Amino acid sequence: MQILILSGNKVEEKLIVEGDEESTSESGVAENDPEDVAPISPVAAPQSVQNVSNAQESPHSQNVTGSQQNNPQQNHNLSDQPESSTRIRNPPGWMQDYYTGSDMFEEEEAGLAMYSSFDDPASYEEACDDPKWISAMKTEIEAIRKNDTWELVDLPAGSKAIGVKWLFKTKLNEKGEVDKYKARLVVKGYAQKEGVDYGEVFAPVARWDTIQILLAIAAKRKWLVKQLDVKSAFLHGELKEVVYVEQPKGFIDKGSEAKVYRLKKALYGLKQAPRAWFHKIEGYFIREGSSKSKYDHSLFIKKVKGKMVIVSLYVDDLIYTGNDQSLCEAFKHSMQNEFDMTDLGIMKYFLGVEALQESDGIIMFQAQYAKSILKKSRMWEANGVKNPIVPGCKLVKSAAGKDVNGTLYMSLIGSLMYLTVSRPDLMYVVSLLSRFMADPKKEHLEAAKRVLRYIKQTLNYGLKYNTGGNGSLLIYTDSNYARDLEDRKSTSGYVCLLSGAAISWSSKKQSIVTLSTTEAEYVAATSCVCHCVWLKGLLEELGEKFEMAVDIWCDNSSTIKLSKNPVMHSRTKHIDVRFHYLRDLVNQEVVNLEFCKSEEQVADIMTKPLKMEMFESMRWKLGVDEVKQVVRH
């Protein structure tokens, strides 16, 4: 039971307990001191809080707990409380490490919006008086004309021109400083009609697994990873369809105002533009003697007499590395001759991920991105915690509590999901929180805020791939039986390590209800070996050799026996045929399940909350550690 105590000009929240039991929230965390949270406005607070505020004017007098808001029976006078339950106890000291954020109402939730830090123009009219944006628009038009993207023609009878608009964006570097001001002319692609204006639109991009594998191999072999950027990449894609667009504002030809542009090549905004660009650069790589990977179609490998250059493409950004400097330089010059390129040198900042290439390895981290999340969610000044989720935390979809803004919650979870690119220690809790995006409650947002506090504590952490590190591929698989309290489905997790750090990982709820821990582990191991087959094939293309079966470490001996022989058939005959794919791979000696102790099971961090000591140990084994060379202010 909870009450409000007026003390001076401050409203304090106390816990009324019965016996020796301590009151805790369902999520396993306790309330924080009201002074840790910024005050809220009376407009956003419930009526019961406004009554207290009217009686006692204080910036802290509006903080009440979520349970009091959601239980109308508690919104009565304090004199109505039973006299037999008047013993007051302060929360124990160890609870000071936890913060639920239950006193964050609508006004503070608005801070979770992922807005831009810069006031970029929203239209041409707002930008036309600013010299820097005028210069950016001229640069864009010059690039379009230089590339022979369009021609000015009369609009044929029966045809319709698609509108265009200007978009403006302030580009930042890895330090959060202004890099350049970018103006982009885009087509209003939503006006296109399928089958008339475009056909197929799919275009592959690099998987983060592939990029991390590339960095791990480069660190192991002491290769430098470099980066190139294609200027106005989509303008190079050649169109098969006939498309007419209007003349852009600010650049309408005098005397030809009624004419339109017929596109020869793609413009940004066209639905087929990404596919046209990929088709263009794919053809270039093949003409230059590179081969496309069978396991990642955005990865290209060129081999010449034992020399190798590897290129990973993500739309208009690409990284490349190899064992011969002259071959890498020849590739760069060839690209610059074919396309308008920007040579970014050694890879430092790629798709929002920072990288440090040192003599003892390659480090990838997202400190600047994490800092932006904290500031936009107003958690930059919050106290840090040492783990993202505590053991015993139980979150369910049917939680009784106050609804929160679903759009803001999804935006926050999406930002956290991208942070897991270099932070596998966040994978489980972010995966768990993503299950509640359809109808988030207050306790879900509180759990997300704890993750933000953990990020504040470990801001400069990242993955380090060591030079001359462990050359063998280490894979761990694990499951947590019936973890979901509502549908009783288990959680699968796996971790793949190379060069001393994780290159691939997963935390996912299983699609079926398993009847035993053995079956849950068996299903998890099957999912792991499917990824292992892909991973092994990709590594072999990149020059890694596997003379023996790949070992997969599992802490369930029954699962290992079941993978080798059809034992315990009466208890496993209901297992779907597709999960016995694991047994086939074991018999073909492609993979081999080996036993490891539970305290050595690295994938444990992907399936459930761990105690502090175990969590820190598994985080270290993942290769996640503090990047001490980076100092953020």
Q: What is the phi/psi pair of residue 195, to 5°?
A: 90, -15
Asked if 302 and 296 count as a contact pair (C-beta separation under 8 A), the reply is: no
* Angle in degrees, CA 163, 168, 169, rounded to 5: 140
Percent of the chain with pLDDT over 70: 79
Structure tokens at 538: 């990709």
* CA distances for 169 relative to 132, 184, 198, 247, angstroms: 12, 8, 27, 21
Q: Is 506 left (phi over 0), alpha (psi -120 to 50) or beta?
A: beta
Q: What is the phi/psi pair of residue 102, to 5°?
A: -65, -15
Structure tokens at 216: 């791990």
- pLDDT by residue (tens digit) across 168-195? 999 887 777 888 899 999 999 988 888 8
Cβ atoms < 10 Å from Cβ of 81: 14
pLDDT score of 49 more than 90: no
What kind and span of H or E run contains 6? strand 2-7
- pLDDT by residue (tens digit) across 315-369? 999 999 999 999 999 999 999 999 989 999 999 999 999 999 999 999 999 999 9
Model confidence at 243, pLDDT cuts 50, 70, 90, reads very high
- Give CA–CA dist 163/158, Å, rounded: 16
User: Helix, strand, or coil here: 81?
Assistant: coil
Least confident interval from 405-414, 427-436, 622-631? 622-631
DSSP alpha helix (H) spans, 235-320: 273-287
* CA distances for 341 relative to 236, 317, 337, angstroms: 12, 10, 9
The interaxial angle of helices 517-541 and 208-220, nearest 10 deg, is 60
> For 362-626, which CATH superfamily applies?
Ribonuclease H-like superfamily/Ribonuclease H (3.30.420.10)
- Average pLDDT of the chain, as a whole number: 82
Model confidence at 490, pLDDT cuts 50, 70, 90, reads very high
- pLDDT by residue (tens digit) across 581-612? 888 999 899 999 999 999 999 999 999 999 99
Least Cα distance to 505 among 612, 622, 610, 415 occurs for 622
pLDDT at 75: 43
- Give CA–CA dist 576/567, Å, rounded: 16
**Residue located via tokens 């053995």:** 518
Model confidence at 521, pLDDT cuts 50, 70, 90, reads very high
Q: Specify which of 46-55, 101-110, 223-232 reaches the highest per-range mean pLDDT.
A: 223-232
DSSP alpha helix (H) spans, 308-441: 325-338, 367-376, 406-419, 427-433
- Give CA–CA dist 630/459, Å, rounded: 10
Model confidence at 630, pLDDT cuts 50, 70, 90, reads low
Q: Is 49 left (phi over 0), alpha (psi -120 to 50) or beta?
A: alpha
Domains of the chain by residue range: 131-351, 362-626
pTM score, whole prediction: 0.77
- Give CA–CA dist 115/376, Å, rounded: 7
131-159 CB burial, b ≥16 within 10 A, e <16: eebeebbebbeeebeebebbeeeeeeeee
Cβ atoms < 10 Å from Cβ of 516: 15
Residue that wins the pLDDT comparison between 399 and 89: 399
List the beta bridge partners of residue 498: 501
DSSP for 300-315? EEEEETTEEEEEEEET
573-604 CB burial, b ≥16 within 10 A, e <16: eebeeebbebbebbeeeebebeebeeeebbbb
Q: What is the phi/psi pair of residue 577, to 5°?
A: -60, -35
User: Helix, strand, or coil here: 165?
Assistant: strand
User: Helix, strand, or coil here: 46?
Assistant: coil
Instruction: Using the Cα atoms of residue 608, residue 609, residue 611 and residue 617 in order, give the sign of their dihedral.
Output: positive
The β-bridge relationship of strands 317-322 and 307-314 is antiparallel
Asked if 483 and 494 count as a contact pair (C-beta separation under 8 A), the reply is: no
Half-sphere exposure of residue 155: CA atoms within 13 angstroms, side-chain side:
15
- pLDDT by residue (tens digit) across 3-37? 444 444 444 444 433 334 333 333 344 334 433 43
Least Cα distance to 383 among 619, 100, 625, 26 occurs for 100
pLDDT at 469: 62
pLDDT at 90: 59
Least Cα distance to 533 among 492, 494, 573 occurs for 494
Mean pLDDT of 602-627: 95
pLDDT score of 256 more than 80: yes
- Give CA–CA dist 252/256, Å, rounded: 8
